[in-house]
Structure 1
Amino acid sequence: MQAVKRILVVIDPSQTEQVALKRASLIASFIESELHLLVCENREDYTPLLQELADQMKAAGITCGFSQSWHNGLTETINRTVVREGCGLVVKQHLPDSALRKALLTPEDWKLLRYCPAPVLMVKNSESWIKGNVLAAIDLGNHDDQHHVLHDTIVSHAAEISEMIDGALHLISAHPAPMLSSADPTFQLRETIACSYQDASAEYLNKYAITQDRLHIDEGPADTLIPFVANKIGASVTVIGTVGRKGIAGALIGNTAEVVLDQLNTDVLVLKPDDTLDHLESLLEK
């Protein structure tokens, strides 16, 4: 996160409290980055609001620019601004859609998580992060190089946030139920699966001084276990990742982050591998 030089903050003029800006200013102060405020709108001029918010940031010692634009939808507007302004992080308030709307249309925030060429922090509430718990969600059962790099990125970002807020870092990984028919003896018994995941977690426990009481390894689907543990420990932010698939539709996020987005009471930081981010940026440049 220290490499982020500019943060894009999506401003929602309909909201009286700009909680995304509150989060972004905290991060910008810690990593000494700039902010760029964006209103995605073409029906009304919000320059006075943007100028007021930018002046507040400048008074707090944060370099801040702003713009207002619209390109065929919210997600495309944000993505084009990310590329144009060279932003390394997007911060946006998440307002959940109704069940009916989600059944009929893909939620706009899901599209942003799928196609944004930068990490995305979805802000769920205005509660303080200070001295809170940070939950890093990884899949210790995947050992390929791409997953390993993504796991390192997730835990390192979570550790940076934990340091920033003087909080506690927690690690979670869900494992599958045992299968007697599995060709790998490790996955035939619940105890051996748990031991395997425990062994795989050792490098992160040692590197980031994570104690056993802050390690959460359990059986079950990740999209159920992650919200359960996050709510149990009262996490302030959950950090999750996805390995994208390249193809006609671009990079598609695994649905875990999308499903947990509305189930979590915490803010959610979603990360992608560098090659996926590069692919998404190249699509925007075509």
Structure 2
Amino acid sequence: MKTIRNTLVVMDVKQPESMILNKAKLIASFTQSHLHLLVCNKKNDESVHLQAVVNSLRQEGFSVSAEQAWEHCEYRTIIAVQQMQGCGLVIKQHRPDNPLLKTFLPSEDWKLLRFCPCPVLIVKSSTPWSGGAILAAIDAGNCDVSHRVLHTGIVGHGHDIARMVGGTLHLISAHPCAQQLAADPVYQIKESIHSLYLEHCKALQAEFKIEDAQLHIEEGPADSLIPEIARQLEVALCVIGSVARRGLSAALIGNTAETVLDSLDCDVLVLKPDDIITHLEELAAPPTNAVLDQAIHSWPYSHSPEPDIWSAPQAAIPAQQGYGEALSPGVAAQPAGLKIR
């Protein structure tokens, strides 16, 4: 999280802006990152409103730029701008979907989680993170190298955010019931399953100094257990991993991050394994094959913050002028810091 230098904030003019802007300002204050505001709209000109938001944020000391863009659909627009601006984090406010329509078609939020090459923060609640519970959700049953890297990233991000806001980090892993795994003798007794998952969590628990009372290993499907524990703990943010499921299975059931997203009442930060991020970056890269600055991404993950960085909020870096001044041919000049595409 602390390595992010450029954050994309997707604004929805049909929803209250204070909720997403408060979370964006919190992250920018601690990471010293630049905020790039985006409105995905091909019809109405939102330049006046965008410029007003930019001016307000700059008066508060934040480095901000903005643009209005459209590339076929919302999630494609977001990814295109994320790639062009080199953003290491996307922040988007959740938009409730029609349940019947989503039965047949994945929502825009689902598609963004599936294809975005960088971490995505979905803002669902106005509840402040300060002093709250942060829940890191992993699948301790998958302990291959790629999953261990992902688990470390998930818990590490949760650890850093908990330190950042003075909150409490909790770790959860759901495990299947014994009947589902009866073919394997190791899994025939419920206590054996719990012990195995606990053993896999011990290293993370020790590394990030998680108390036993803050470790939750319980039986049940992850997509129902995680929201249940989150509600019990009144969680402010849930950090979860996503392995982008493809094909028919994706169309029918999505993946855990996507299905949990609809059930959680709190904000959700979604991460992906390193190899998936690399693959998605290749798919999303522009035809020019421009090489993005790897420093803007929070992967490979390092959770060892410098004490002076995380001990207190830092002043935002000075506002950068001239962001997004290049306009498409035939488009009227916009105020500094605003680009309409």
Normalized against structure 2, the TM-score is what?
A: 0.79
What residue in structure 2 maps to residue 25 of structure 1?
A: 25
Letter in 2 for 1:137: A
Deviates more, 1:219-228 or 1:196-205: 196-205
CA shift, 1:57, in A, is 1.8
Deviates more, 1:274-283 or 1:25-34: 274-283
What residue in structure 2 maps to residue 88 of structure 1?
A: 88
What residue in structure 2 maps to residue 212 of structure 1?
A: 212
Q: Which whole-Å deviations, capped at 9, do the CAs of 1:260-284 have from their partners, x for residues lacking one?
A: 1121111000101122112112112
Q: Which has the bigger relative contact order, CA under 8 A and spacing at least 6?
A: 2
Distance 1:38 1:181 in 2: 47
What residue in structure 1 maps to residue 132 of structure 2?
A: 132
Secondary structure at the counterpart of residue 202 of structure 1:
helix
Letter in 1 for 2:188: Q
Distance 1:247 1:223 in 2: 20
CA shift, 1:225, in A, is 0.4
What residue in structure 2 maps to residue 224 of structure 1?
A: 224
Residue 277 (structure 1) aligned with residue 283 (structure 2): no
CA contact (8 A) 2:141 2:175 kept: yes
Once the two structures are superposed, the pairs formed by residues 31-180 of structure 1 within 5 Å of their partners are 31-179=31-179
Structure 1 moving runs of 4+ over 3 Å: 179-184, 244-250
Once the two structures are superposed, the pairs formed by residues 228-267 of structure 1 within 5 Å of their partners are 228-244=228-244, 255-267=255-267
What residue in structure 1 maps to residue 2 of structure 2?
A: 2
Letter in 2 for 1:150: L
Distance 2:248 2:275 in 1: 16
Normalized against structure 1, the TM-score is what?
A: 0.94
Matched residues, number = 285
Distance 1:160 1:265 in 2: 22
Distance 1:269 1:234 in 2: 16
CA shift, 1:237, in A, is 0.4
CA shift, 1:14, in A, is 1.5
CA shift, 1:17, in A, is 3.0
Secondary structure at the counterpart of residue 130 of structure 1:
coil
Letter in 1 for 2:21: L
Secondary structure at the counterpart of residue 58 of structure 1:
helix
CA shift, 1:243, in A, is 2.6
Return 5+ residue gaps in structure 2 as ranges.
Answer: 288-341
CA contact (8 A) 2:244 2:255 kept: no
Letter in 2 for 1:265: D
Letter in 1 for 2:38: L
Secondary structure at the counterpart of residue 71 of structure 1:
coil
CA shift, 1:55, in A, is 1.6
Distance 1:280 1:234 in 2: 33
Q: Which whole-Å deviations, capped at 9, do the CAs of 1:29-58 have from their partners, x for residues lacking one?
A: 011111000000121111111111112222
What residue in structure 1 maps to residue 311 of structure 2?
A: none
Distance 1:247 1:163 in 2: 39
CA contact (8 A) 2:136 2:170 kept: yes
Secondary structure at the counterpart of residue 92 of structure 2:
strand
Deviates more, 1:184-193 or 1:110-119: 184-193
Secondary structure at the counterpart of residue 178 of structure 2:
coil
Distance 1:81 1:284 in 2: 10
Distance 2:180 2:236 in 1: 39
Return 5+ residue gaps in structure 1 as ranges.
Answer: none
Distance 1:213 1:15 in 2: 38
